[in-house]
Structure 1
Amino acid sequence: MNFDEMYKNILNEHRQVFETLDQSKLQEFMELIINAKRIFLMGVGREGLATRGFAMRLMHMGKETHWVWDDTTPNVQPGDLFIFTSGSGEIGHIHFVAEMAKAAGAKLAVVTGTRTGKTPALADFVLWVPAHVYKGTDKVVPSKQPMGNLFEQTLFVLFDIIVMMLMDTLNISEAAMISRHRNVE
């Protein structure tokens, strides 16, 4: 494939994923975020990069947000929301942390491409992203891209859409978000 064929194919794959996404589940996910006292997030690899970007934007919105791998992350408590991204739903150390967070009383939300994985089965809420994912087993939008590219790319865009929808819902301006941006860089 040449460049034009590749980008058109990738954009078409994304269109299919976003047109298939359950918007009612998206609204439910947003309500969990709105109502959470504190939000913890975890993901690994390229999924983790998208999730970490989402954590940053939630903080810019004024939510108390913690990335689980940071040394300054406090203990998880009842009333907290813990968002995990696990494309296959079978990532061992993510599942282990999910079990610990649930035992600590947090509400678990898993964003996944495989609803039948062991971590989605443990979760209180599952946001299914119907995109091809590395080691996934669900019937999803197929991809000509390698490994989990489609799922990982979708997370970046989906999380940005969620932030923009939350900004509208909560009447948060971009200026308010900019005021919370790190100012020591």
Structure 2
Amino acid sequence: MNMKVMYKTILSEYEQVFEKIDQDNVRDFIEKVKSYHRIFLIGVGREGMATKAFAMRLMHMGKEIHWIWDDTTPSIGKGDLLIATLGDGQIGHIHYICERAKAQGARIYVVTGSPSGKTAREAADNVLFVPAAVYRGTDEVVSSIQPMGNLFEQCLFVLFDMIIMIIVEETPDLSFEKMSARHRNVE
């Protein structure tokens, strides 16, 4: 397959995913993110990278953000939100973290391509379903010519960026200029 055919096919896959995403589901996720000041995030691999990018933008918005794997992460508890991205909905150590955070009173929001997965079913208070092909996923999603979870990971990155843009647009005292002022300045 030549590159031109490949990129057009991949763009078509993106379109199919974003057409299938439940807008009310995304709206609920946005409202939860807007309502919490202290947000903890967790993810691994390429979907973890998309989640880290989301965490960075949330920090730029002025929220108190903590990455679960960081040694400086404080305790989690009531009044905190944990956003866990796990494509197949059942990554063992992420499931464990979700259970522990829930036991401490945190709200758990799982972002997944497989809402039938164990963590989405058993530990999540809310689930954001991104219907894109995911590695080891079992739910009905948009299939992909790409390997493993590429489509899910790419759509996750774009969806998280769009969510940030929507929150900025809906928040009167927030702007990209204000966010830019919080960007790391020791580069």
Q: Shorter-normalised TM-score: what interval? A: over 0.9
Q: CA deviation at 1:135?
A: 0.2
Q: Percent identity?
A: 61
Q: CA deviation at 1:56?
A: 0.2
Listed one character per residue, the Cα deviations across residues 90-123 of structure 1 (whole Å, up to 9, x for unaligned) are 1000001111110111000000000111110120
Q: Give distance in 2, aligned partners of 1:111 and 1:126.
A: 6
- Pairwise CA RMSD of aligned residues? 0.6
Out of 177, 181, 184, the residue aligned to residue 182 of structure 1 is 184
Q: Give distance in 2, aligned partners of 1:69 and 1:180.
A: 22
Q: Give distance in 1, aligned partners of 2:92 and 2:69.
A: 16
Query: What secondary structure, in the 3-state scheme, does the structure 2 residue paired with 1:138 have?
Result: coil
Within 5 Å, give how 1:1-185 maps onto structure 2: 1-121=1-121, 122-171=123-172, 172-185=174-187
Q: CA deviation at 1:68?
A: 0.8
TM-score normalised by L of structure 2? 0.98
Q: Give distance in 2, aligned partners of 1:40 and 1:14.
A: 28
Q: CA deviation at 1:37?
A: 3.0
Q: Give distance in 2, aligned partners of 1:48 and 1:55.
A: 10
Q: CA deviation at 1:144?
A: 0.7
Letter in 1 for 2:151: L
The count of residues paired between Structure 1 and Structure 2 equals 185
Unaligned runs of 5+ in 2: none
Unaligned runs of 5+ in 1: none
Deviation >4 Å, runs of 4+: none
Deviates more, 1:64-73 or 1:42-51: 64-73
Q: Give distance in 1, aligned partners of 2:143 and 2:78.
A: 38
TM-score normalised by L of structure 1? 0.99
Letter in 2 for 1:182: R
Query: What secondary structure, in the 3-state scheme, does the structure 1 residue paired with 2:108 have?
Result: strand
